[in-house]
């Protein structure tokens, strides 16, 4: 829709970054402040104006280091577009295509950041519905940002998302029946984890005749079968995220992150934590049990490392990514 060198309002188009089912994205310069931005132009310009404003309003309801920042929405020369921060780098999909299976630490790093973004969206009542590597931007500093909320909706106004929307290889079984819930996004995170650690999807795009098998979990091969270097704890986390039965799956991204961060920590630190816990039990088992029960009732707030801005375990005193004391 836009051409290189074209100026619309104060924005000068520099290049075309890509297109998806809902719109095209361009790199542009804000000529007033001399800053590069990303401009997304929806394909369907004839929609009701309130429909066009849906995605920018969703983005405006969130502010998180792992979610692309929405700057403004404009309508100039009868063209509606969204102005967002520009993230130099590549998508997670491009990285996997180029390198195949990622090194364990790197894959878990990205997963933790992804979970933090999804958890923040869920706390704002936003269901993404299209979590996949192509919608993950990787900055040059290793920061992951979730983008493309064009298929998202506020789940708080309904029991579930009732439209069959998403990318089939990453869709949870219930999404094929138009019953997406927060745990559906967690399933998509699980598929992405699987792909990062094996270089492959857990199964091909399900055909209509495969949906029942997908509902029974018969299409999935455990990731550790395809990559023996995956630790059993990580394999189990992925398989729980991919549980076809909603009651067996992680309900929120925060639940997955709660299991993943201790597994992400170096083995020596995990052993030390285990010895400390045993010591507490020996000193006063009853007090330790009461303390843990009280802690379990709390809902810890999301925490980030002050230095690298990556997610921290609720009660961690040291970052598992950069090792900086908190």
According to the model, what pLDDT value does residue 276 have?
43
pTM of the model: 0.77
Instruction: Look up 77 and say whether it is catalytic.
Output: no
Q: How far apart are CA 264 and CA 257, in angstroms?
A: 10
The confidence score (pLDDT) of residue 266 equals 60
What tokens appear for 285 in the block? 């088992």
- Cβ distance 308 to 254 under 8 Å? no
Distance CA 269, CA 262 (A): 9
Of 256, 320, 21, the C-alpha closest to 118 is: 256
Q: Token digits for 65?
A: 């280091």
Question: CA nearest 111: which of 30, 21, 36, 190?
Answer: 190
Res 8: pLDDT: 92
**Residue among 22, 23, 2 at smallest CA distance from 11:** 2
Domains of the chain from N-terminus onward: 7-85 (3.30.200.20), 89-264 (1.10.510.10), 268-312 (no CATH)
- Answer yes or no: are the C-beta atoms of 56 and 150 closer than 8 Å: no
Task: Exactly one of 30, 77, 119, 130 is catalytic; name it.
Answer: 130
- What average pLDDT values come out for the chain (326 residues) when binned by 10 residues? 89 91 89 96 88 86 91 93 94 96 96 95 88 93 87 51 61 87 95 97 80 83 95 96 94 94 67 45 46 48 70 74 78
Give DSSP secondary structure letters for 252-300.
Answer: SHHHHHHHHHHHHS-HHHHHHHHHHHHHHHHHHHHHHHHHHHHHHHS-P
Count CA within 13 A, CB hemisphere, residue 85. Answer: 18
- Identify the CA nearest to 219 among candidates 228, 230, 209, 227: 209
- Residue 211 confidence (pLDDT): 80
| 208, 94, 57, 183 alpha-carbon torsion, rounded to 10° | 50
Dump the DSSP string for 139-189: ETTS-EEE---TT-EEGGGSSSB-S--S-GGG--GGGGGT-B-HHHHHHHH
pLDDT of residue 314: 67
CA 211 vs. chain centroid, Å, equals: 24
pLDDT value for 21: 67
8 A C-beta contact, residue 281 and residue 287: no
């Amino acid at each position: 829709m836009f051409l290189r060198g074209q100026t619309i309002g104060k924005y000068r188009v520099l290049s075309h970054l890509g297109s998806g089912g809902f719109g095209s994205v361009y790199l542009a310069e804000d000529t007033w402040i001399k800053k590069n931005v990303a401009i997304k132009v929806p394909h369907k310009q004839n929609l009701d104006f309130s429909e066009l404003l849906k995605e920018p309003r969703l983005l405006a309801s969130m502010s998180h280091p792992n979610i692309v920042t929405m700057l403004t929405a404009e309508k100039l020369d009868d063209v509606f577009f969204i102005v967002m921060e520009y993230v130099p780098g590549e998508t997670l999909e491009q990285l996997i295509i180029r390198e195949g299976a990622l090194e364990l630490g790197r894959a878990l790093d990205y997963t933790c950041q992804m979970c933090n973004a999804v958890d923040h969206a869920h706390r704002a009542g936003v269901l993404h519905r299209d979590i996949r590597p192509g919608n993950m931007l990787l900055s040059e500093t290793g920061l992951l940002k979730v983008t493309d909320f064009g298929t998202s909706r506020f789940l708080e106004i309904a029991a579930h998302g009732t439209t069959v929307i998403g990318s089939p290889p990453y869709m949870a079984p219930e999404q094929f029946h138009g019953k997406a819930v927060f745990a559906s996004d967690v399933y998509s995170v699980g598929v992405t984890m699987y792909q990062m650690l094996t270089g492959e999807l857990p199964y091909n795009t399900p055909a209509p005749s495969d949906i029942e098998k997908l509902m029974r979990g018969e299409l999935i091969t455990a990731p550790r079968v395809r990559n023996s270097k995956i630790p059993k704890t990580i394999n189990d986390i992925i398989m729980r995220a991919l549980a076809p039965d909603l009651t067996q799956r992680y309900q929120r991204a925060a639940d997955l992150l709660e299991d993943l961060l201790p597994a992400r920590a170096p083995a020596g630190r995990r052993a030390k934590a285990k010895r400390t816990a045993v010591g507490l039990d020996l000193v006063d088992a009853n007090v330790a049990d009461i303390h843990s029960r009280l802690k379990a009732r709390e809902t810890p707030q999301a925490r980030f490392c002050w230095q690298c801005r990556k997610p921290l375990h609720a009660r961690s005193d040291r970052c598992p990514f950069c090792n900086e004391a908190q």
